[in-house]
Every structure is written in C-alpha cells, then in structure tokens.
C-alpha cells in the first residue's frame, strides 16, 4: 500500500506521440515483404491506385520507390502537426516581414525628417540668395548710376580742358599783343629820346657857334 502511494507520487505527466511510421509492402497484405519500414506520418506520397477490397493503395515516394500501404493511413490534407508547423513558419515569416516593415517605416520617417530639414535649409538658402540677388541688383543700379555720373564728369572735364586751352591761347595772344605794345612804346620812347638828344646837341652846337663867331 505504501509502495503504491510512492509510485503515485513519483508519477509524471506524459503525452502520446502522434508521429507514426507505416511500412511500405510489396503487396496488398501483411504477408508481403516490407520495402520500407519507416514511412513517417506526414510524408508526401503520389497515390497511383486504390483497392477498396484489400484496403491498400499503391503509392510512390519522392525517391521513386513504389509499394502498397494501408489506405487508412492516407489522408487528403496534411496532418495537424505539419499544418501547425506551416502556420508557425508562416507566422515567423509574417513577423519577419512586420519587423522589416517597421524598420522600413523608421527609415522612411528618418528620411522624411532629413528631407524636411533639408527643405528648410534650402528655403533659408533661397531666401539668402534672393536677398543677395536684390543687393546685387541694387549694386548694379548704383554702378550704372555711378558710371553715368562718371561719364558726365568726364564730359565736363573735357569741356573744362577745352575752355582752359582756349583761355590759354587767348591769354597767350593777349600776352603777345601786350609785349608787342610795350616793344613799340619802348622803341618810340627811345627814338624820341634820340631825336630830343640830337636836337639839344644841335642847339648847343649852334649856340656855341654863334658865340664864337661873335
């Protein structure tokens, strides 16, 4: 009694294995030779023929081996274990795709943030270029205005030079005329002095001659 209780206490939980192995035979009964002892449940087979009377079906494995197997072990759909495995694999693929999508979304979001920042930077640069263009336009207008003023100043300068040249020529002509007038005045004065001296000399000579004669 005590031993039975101990065995009950030591008992553990177990499960019945759903994986079975079906023999592949050379004929349609258990009397025929076994061609393959371990056709595992879930194995994909091509069914070539079915005998309802014997309960066997002629099948072909993927490696080309043909034999008879009890029809009760054949089903039209994959077994639950394989379906579960396919579902797990599909779920894993979906989870992987989801993670890739999240990463792609984060990448797109980062790119969007970078594009917004780049767009703001381009707007700032565009505003700076517009301001610089306006400054250059104003500078060009100022340069044109200054060039026009310089041209007017050059024209006025040339006009003043012509006037100065004309005044210089006129002044030279006046100087020449004045020098000539002074020359003529001096020459006349000198000639008059010489005539006066000659007349005085003649008077003195006549006076002395008259006194001597007397």
- So what's the pLDDT on residue 67? 93
| Position 54 confidence tier, pLDDT thresholds 50, 70, 90 | very high
Confidence of residue 3 (pLDDT cuts 50, 70, 90): very low
Same domain (yes/no): 106, 176: yes
- The percentage of residues in the chain with a pLDDT greater than 70, rounded to a whole number, is 84
Kindly tell me if the per-residue pLDDT of 114 is higher than 80: yes
* Rg, the chain, Cα only: 69
85 and 72 fall within a common domain: no
Closest CA to 24 of 54, 8, 45, 51: 45
Phi, then psi, of 33 in degrees rounded to 5 = -65, 140
Query: Would 197 be classed as within a structural domain?
Result: no
Residues 27, 104, single domain; the answer is no
24 touches 69 (CB < 8 A): yes
Tokens of 71: 């029809």
Does residue 50 share a domain with residue 117? no
Return the pLDDT at 58. 94
pLDDT band at 81 (very low <50, low <70, confident <90, very high): low
Asked if residue 89 belongs to a domain, the reply is yes
Structure confidence at residue 55 as a pLDDT band (50, 70, 90): very high
- pLDDT, position 6: 46
pTM score, whole prediction: 0.35
Strands (E), the chain: 21-25, 34-40, 46-51, 56-60, 66-70
Clarify whether residues 127 and 155 are in a common domain: yes
Structurally, the chain folds into a number of domains equal to 2
Q: Two tokens at 194?
A: 């010489």
pLDDT digits (tens, 9 = 90+) for 134-150: 888 888 787 787 878 77
Residue 71: CATH number of its domain = 2.30.30.40
Considering the domain boundaries, does residue 189 fall inside one? no
Q: What is the extent of the structural domain holding 170?
A: 80-183
């Amino acid at each position: 009694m005590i031993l039975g209780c101990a065995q009950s206490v030591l008992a553990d939980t177990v499960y019945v294995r759903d994986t079975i192995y079906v023999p592949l035979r050379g004929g349609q009964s258990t009397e025929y030779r076994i061609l393959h002892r371990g056709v595992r449940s879930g194995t994909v087979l091509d069914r070539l023929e079915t005998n309802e009377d014997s309960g066997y079906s002629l099948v072909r494995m993927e490696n080309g081996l043909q034999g008879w197997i009890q029809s009760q072990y054949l089903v039209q759909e994959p077994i639950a274990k394989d379906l579960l495995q396919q579902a797990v694999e599909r779920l894993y693929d979906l989870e992987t795709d989801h993670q890739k999508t999240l990463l792609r979304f984060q990448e797109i979001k980062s790119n969007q943030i970078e594009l917004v920042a780049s767009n703001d930077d381009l707007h700032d640069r565009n505003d700076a270029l517009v301001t610089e263009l306006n400054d250059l336009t104003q500078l060009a207008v100022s340069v044109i205005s200054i060039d026009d003023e310089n041209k007017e100043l050059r024209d006025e300068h040339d006009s003043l030079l012509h006037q100065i040249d004309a005044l210089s020529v006129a002044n030279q002509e006046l100087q020449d005329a004045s020098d000539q007038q002074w020359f003529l005045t001096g020459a006349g004065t000198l000639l008059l002095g010489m005539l006066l001296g000659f007349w005085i000399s003649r008077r003195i000579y006549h006076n002395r001659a008259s006194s001597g004669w007397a």
